[in-house]
A and B are shown apart, each in its own frame.
Chain A
Amino acid sequence: MIDRVTLERHGLKPDEYERIVSFLGRQPNLTELGIFSVMWSEHCSYKSSRVHLKTLPTKGPQVLQGPGENAGAVDIGDGLAAVFKIESHNHPSFIEPYQGAATGVGGIIRDIFTMGARPIALLNSLRFGSLDAPGTRRLLEGVVAGIAGYGNSIGIPTVGGEIVFEPSYAGNCLVNVFCLGIAKHSDIIKGVASGVGNAVYYVGAKTGRDGIHGATMASAEFDEKSAEKRPAVQVGDPFMEKLLLEACLEVMQTDALVGIQDMGAAGLTCSTTEMGSRGGAGVEIDVSLVPQRETGMTPYEIMLSESQERMLLVAKRGREAEIERIFEKWDLHAAKIGVVTEDGFLRVKERGAVVAEIPNRALTDEAPLYRRPMQEPEYLREAQVLNLGSLSSSVDPSAGSGSPRAGSRGDNLRTSGMNDALFALLESPTIASKHWVYRQYDHMVRTATINLPGMGAGVVRVRGTDRALALSVDGNGRYCYLDPRRGAMLAVAEAARNIACAGARPIGATNCLNFGNPEKPGIMWQFAEAVAGIGEACRALDVPITGGNVSLYNETDGNAIYPTPVIGVVGVLEHVDRLVARRFRSSGDALVILGENRGELGGSEYLKVTHGLVRGVPPGLDLATERRLQDLLVQLADARLIRSAHDCSDGGFAVTLVESCFDTNGIGAEVELQPASVSTSPQLNVAASLFGESASRVLVSVSSDDVTAVLEKAAASGVKAAMIGQTGGNRIRAAVGGAIAVDVSVDEAERRWSSAIARYFARQVA
């Protein structure tokens, strides 16, 4: 019977086993145990996270579908809906980067077209260890190639994303993939099974032994034996998915479907159970009717396989032939494997004999729910202490990075120090150009991408309308490590701000919550704090969460990743021709900074890059101020008053200014700033004014005729605004408190920024 070793191998705790026995009123057989183990895994049941996720704001007049379905949906006008979700594929990508990332893309695309939407754009948010650490390059190249291999083939453009390198991800890379689709409201279809006697169809790739217990793998920490888990990673077939996508969208146009769901984590088990559960019905299938790739597969293996590119659908009675005909057109075979029943059970048969019989409720609503103990982690108080006084000496350029530039004294000396710090930031892999990456992604297929990758938010036009949708994914694990609540709020604010910078109004959000082992009170505390922060920010900025994903157990040998909530925000740009991009448009435009610099250096890229410190508290965030700023940006774009907009984030104002000069054929800029007053060291105050990461700031360029109008609108909106300089020349000059602090040529800055990642690789080879 079921012994302790079997239980452990299934990731089930003894008390969970007791619960199973009491539900069934008997001992489960092995197939049933397998079904419980995947449905009750953290990955499928959200047993540690659910109590917290329930606090998130999920409603709003624009929300057509909140959490609980395959993806969320919001109204974008003209009877159309944006359907979107973000999902993680962290564990499989670490084990097998190409296939792990590829199947992550495949999985999120299925979630979108399962809702009746045509997928039109992909984004991704990636985290790796230091670029120069062993193994990072293999993971980065594999993950990027996997995303490209799948997305390019299926023909959905990857229009943006972010990549961050931090030692904390060396043992657990993060691969979060976001997909957006478009559907008519009336075409949105759900994952329900209902109508007793309706046929249950299986369509797509045949079932093999791949991926068995993938969901369970994603619910455990890694250790030195993790490489042995490779068979739990699936292999993707984008061609099969392309056929499924086109065939399913065609079938959905017939009105012959009751419901449809993809087979993702926990495969056939999860899709049959969830569809039955949502429809208040049961599903009965016979595994011997399931198309199989291998011989001799047991019911256990068939139910737990995570073979990719498979769909489960329920047909309306009498309409089966129509559905079968469409799949045949695409050379896909729809196999009838069961029926909808009224008893609310998942019943699995093999050639007519019952091999598993479990009430749906036991697998879904009645799955274990944990209020895990939480405690502020011990590291936190100490890590939040930032003694700027101890830094001032190392800001002295003579103790700096050993630049060969021989300054005389005084201002020149100071300039070389700040120039060097700026270059160091531009060459930091997190900030450096990701052209090497996105050149590998087809970002133009579907001829709808109107803001190219690297230019701020991804923006895709909506055919048949004058509208476009702006998309951004953002997260800052370092901030969250130093203060998970505030860090999560900042992630929401930044994602929404990126949307507003493009001129679009943020309307909905999705989240991917990447954390360590929730059984540790410190991790659970981070999780709860982050979720609270997301909720607070989403409420204030009016971007309800419409779905998402939780990835826990991102730990290796007991070391957890930084807590990393990644937020995806979608916004509507009412007129495609009002799009605002990151880069300056011409010389002679005025530069206006919206928002206020408080010179906050806690958790900054500057502290990390130039002082090797991850310390302090992340920048403060006043949500009301942020909301006013974002509303103003949309208003300014709509009135065509701004010519470019770029927010201040990693690397602070200086990096924002310099990045705005890139991809412009060398348009420079000259600005005059006030020193921050964060320290007794004048040097550090200059650094804080340049590289501090105070939130809620955006640099806009404005035609000189429009400066007054922009400043007036800012004042009317209650947003601080100041004209600080103008574009022009081929150098970037920033004076702080009247003395030149940064003076670099656009060419050199751009060369360093754009070649940094390639040079890292070249050095590794050398």
Chain B
Amino acid sequence: MKFAVVTFPGSNCDQDAYHAAKDVLGQQAEYIWHKDTDLKGADVVILPGGFAHGDYLRCGAMARFSPVMKSVQEFAAKGGPVLGICNGFQVLLEAGLLPGAMLRNVSLKFQCEHVNIRVEQTDTPFTGACRVGQVLSIPIAHGEGNYFAEPDVIARLEANRQIVFRYSTADGRVIDEANVNGSLENIAGLCNEQRNVVGLMPHPERACESILGSADGLVMFESVMKAVAHA
């Protein structure tokens, strides 16, 4: 199967997502330049981390106007699996593919560290191989990952089971102490109502080899490979 990794000007985790798909999992992978509109027949689209367009405005606010995003919207509308990681998640929020917005971390500082997230939903293409309640150790690296949405939006996310990951302790307790950036409801990742578009702040592509400290992110890639194979 084929992964498309979108490169915006300022993306800096595109090579890491490409490496995970191609070198670690042995799948096909293609970079898609943000000015292109051809997704080259990809089965999965990844919007990688970084600082698209420098993020001098709100994170992701410029990237949603890139020509490639129209193709990503169409791909998503047809049910294609789309994963937004970190800045890619922020782009999905700005593009309206996922609801809500990001505020600065409550620490007011950029934070790079391994955190634990609990899998809440397994009926998405990126969590199908997980167990509900499974805890993954995956790094974060962001300054604006403090998820915010209006109460009615949060209520809808809960009702539709769209909260896919929450920050937790290593033993899976979702408590304030585990909330690394102040996100409402400890939200670390979401899906859309159709469940094929997933965004999360942690970086699964940085946790695909044990030499890097954790291989817990692999399960997300394996999930989507299964999902595509069965589609």
Contacts and interface: CB of A to CB of B under 8 A. Distances in A.
Interface of A: 145, 148-149, 152-155, 237-240, 242-243, 329-331, 438-447, 449-450, 452, 461, 463, 576-577
B111 A439 contact: yes
B48 to A, nearest CB: 10
B156 interface: no
A442 B141 contact: yes
A253 to B, nearest CB: 15
A222 B24 CA distance: 53
B177 to A, nearest CB: 16
A330 B213 contact: no
Given A239-B10, A450-B212, A463-B19, A443 B112 contact: yes
B99 interface: no
B16 A446 contact: yes
A450 B15 CA distance: 17
Nearest to A145: B109
B172 interface: no
Contact of A153 (B51, B139, B212): B51
Given A152-B143, A447-B16, 13 more contacts: A238-B54, A239-B53, A239-B55, A239-B56, A240-B54, A242-B12, A439-B113, A441-B112, A443-B112, A444-B139, A445-B12, A445-B141, A450-B212
Interface in B36-54: 49-51, 53-54
A237 B10 CA distance: 11
Given A243-B9, A439-B113, A447 B54 contact: no
B19 to A, nearest CB: 6
Given A238-B51, A444-B139, A153 B16 contact: no
Contact of B212 (A152, A155, A439, A447): A447
8 contacts: A153-B12, A155-B51, A239-B9, A242-B54, A439-B112, A444-B203, A450-B211, A452-B213
B102 to A, nearest CB: 16
B212 A440 contact: no
B13 interface: yes
Contact residues of B: prevailing secondary structure: mixed
Q: Name which of A153, A243, A440 has the most chain B CB atoms within 10 A of its CB.
A: A153
B15 A331 contact: no
Contacts of B55: 153, 239
Contacts of A237: 54
Contacts of B113: 439
A68 B54 CA distance: 33
Contact of A440 (B10, B112, B203, B209): B112
B211 A440 contact: no
A439 B9 CA distance: 25
Given A239-B53, A447-B205, A153 B9 contact: no
B206 interface: yes
B9 A330 contact: yes
Nearest to B24: A447
Enumerate the 4 nearest inter-chain pairs by beta-carbon distance, A residue then B residue, closest first: A155-B12, A239-B54, A153-B51, A442-B141
Contacts of B65: none
A461 B209 CA distance: 12
B111 A440 contact: yes
A447 B110 contact: no
A342 to B, nearest CB: 39
A155 B112 contact: no
**Residue from B49, B51, B139, B203 whose CB has the most chain A CB atoms within 10 Å:** B51
A330 B54 CA distance: 13
B54 A449 contact: no
A452 B212 CA distance: 9
Contact of A445 (B10, B13, B20): B13
A576 B12 contact: no
Given A154-B12, A463-B19, A449 B212 contact: yes
A242 B141 contact: no
Nearest to A579: B211
Nearest to B52: A239
Nearest to A468: B211
Given A152-B141, A242-B9, A444 B54 contact: no
B109 A239 contact: no
A4 to B, nearest CB: 45
Contacts of A463: 19
Given A153-B54, A445-B141, A148 B9 contact: no
A426 to B, nearest CB: 22
Contacts of A438: 112
Interface string B198-211: 00000101101101
Contacts of A443: 112
B36 to A, nearest CB: 11
A439 B139 CA distance: 11
Contacts of B9: 239, 242-243, 330-331
B115 to A, nearest CB: 11
Interface string B26-70: 000000010000000000000001110111100000000000000
B10 A153 contact: yes
A613 B141 CA distance: 41
Contacts of A447: 16, 19-20, 205-206, 208-209, 212
A249 to B, nearest CB: 12
Contacts of A153: 10, 12, 51, 54-55
Contacts of B51: 152-153, 155, 238-239, 242
A441 B112 CA distance: 6
A360 B93 CA distance: 55
A360 B143 CA distance: 47
Given A153-B54, A461-B211, A442 B10 contact: no
A509 B9 CA distance: 34
Contacts of B12: 153-155, 242, 445
Contacts of A576: 211
A16 B76 CA distance: 69
Contacts of B54: 153, 237-240, 242
A443 B110 CA distance: 12
A442 B211 contact: no
A226 to B, nearest CB: 28
A445 B111 contact: no
A746 to B, nearest CB: 19
A331 B53 CA distance: 11
A187 B12 CA distance: 22
A444 B212 contact: yes
Contacts of B139: 444
A418 B70 CA distance: 67
